[in-house]
Amino acid sequence: MPRDLPIIDAHHHFWDLTHNDHPWLRPDHPPIPFRYGDYGALRGRDFLPENYDALTGHHRVVATVTMEGEWNPADPTGESAWIARLHARTGRPAGHVAQAWLDREDVEAVLATQAAIPLVKGVRHKPRTAVAPDRVERGAPGSMGDPRWRAGYARLAPHGLHFELQAPWWHLGEALDLIEAHPETPLVLNHTGLPSDRSAEGLAGWRAAMRRLAQAPQASVKISGLGLRGRPWSLEDNRPIIRETIEIFGVPRCMFASNFPVDGLCGSFVTIFDGFREAVADLPWPDQLALFHDNAIRTYRLSLPLAAGAA
């Protein structure tokens, strides 16, 4: 594989646990339910640009986009302010997806503050979700069907912000409802729709849900978060998911991302990005550039030059 492919990592985290407040990462905080199981290796450890750089190996990462990292919700704009200071000092990240709680009374003030920070391109609020497809409660408080939550979502477009969704695939029907109600707001699906159930039945459900969401041209997807509990990251496990996602959404609506340091629980940065590269090595070079670089520039409205030869 050519080693000169420019990469924009479209989803990762920075945190400085010595100075900042991420409750779930404090050693004294009770562990939260987590899809990869034990996340003790993340707790109490900073993850800053120098830590990130030490992991990328031979991959040419030219820019990155940070995702909110469950900063204390009592201070929803604090993380973005810190990220802006980090950018001023280090030049990174190139863009940020901020925290916002769409069903809170302060949502308008929070969105206005976030939108005033040039690095902030969108927001994430993980909606209430069910543990299984047959447990979904349409309209449940805190879910994408909650009228208060939807009213907050309607405020995104006036602030020039898009929405990032992290939810299991069995909630993608609700996401499609949101898009149809608010077509002016782009939606970026995180972590490939969370296909953690790799049984034939589970994959059939994931595939059908992804095909429904892909009907909306406003929806795009980040191919990331593919780790499986108790298994090391492998191309054998994840190649079918990667290729089906690209087939369903099309190259222009897919991006690759590391989700580091979280996905470091499943595999090294080099292992994961070597796997991404190998999974699409047969695609035309312009498609590879789009998946690893150009689509992220467009989605996150980054002021970076397109890679030479990009479509």
Convert the pLDDT of each residue in 171-201 to its tens digit.
Answer: 999 999 999 999 999 999 999 999 999 999 9
| Stretch among 141-150, 264-273, 286-295, 298-307 having the lowest mean pLDDT | 298-307
Q: What is the mean pLDDT of residues 138-145?
A: 94
Q: Say what the pLDDT of residue 148 is.
A: 96
What does the pLDDT read at residue 3? 61
Task: Count CA atoms closer than 13 A to 150's CA, side-chain side.
Answer: 17
Phi, psi dihedrals of residue 67, rounded to the nearest 5°: -110, 145
- pLDDT at residue 1, rounded to an integer: 57
Q: For residue 309, is pLDDT > 60?
A: no
Determine the pLDDT at residue 307.
47
What pLDDT shows up at residue 202?
A: 97
- Residues 53-100 pLDDT 10s: 999 999 999 999 999 999 999 999 999 999 999 999 999 999 999 999
What is the spatial distance between Cα 245 and Cα 223, in angstroms, rounded to a whole number? 8
pLDDT in tens, 90-107: 999 999 999 999 999 999
DSSP designation for 240: H
| CA-wise closest residue to 78 among 34, 117, 32 | 117
Residue 125 has φ and ψ, to the nearest 5°, of: -140, 110
pLDDT at 311: 36
Residue 4 has pLDDT above 50, yes or no: yes
Q: What DSSP element (H or E) covers 187? A: strand 187-189
Give the chain's mean pLDDT.
95
Residue type, 129: T
Mean pLDDT of 298-304: 91
Query: Is 242 exposed, middle or buried (CB count within 10 Å of its CB: 0-12, 13-18, 19+)?
Result: buried
The per-residue pLDDT for 304 is: 72
Residue 2's pLDDT is what? 57
Q: What is the pLDDT of residues 10-60, one digit of tens each?
A: 999 999 999 999 999 998 899 999 999 999 999 989 999 999 999 999 999
pLDDT for 303 equals 85
Tell me the mean pLDDT in the region 131-137. Answer: 92
pLDDT computed for residue 306 by the predictor: 52
| Rounded distance between C-alpha atoms, residue 165 and residue 175, angstroms | 8
**Cα dihedral 102, 108, 109, 111 sign:** positive
Encode 152-186: b = buried (16+ Cβ within 10 Å), e = exposed.
Answer: bbebbeebebbbbbbbbbbbbbbbbebbeebeebb
CA quadruple 112, 118, 120, 122: dihedral sign: positive
pLDDT at 305: 60
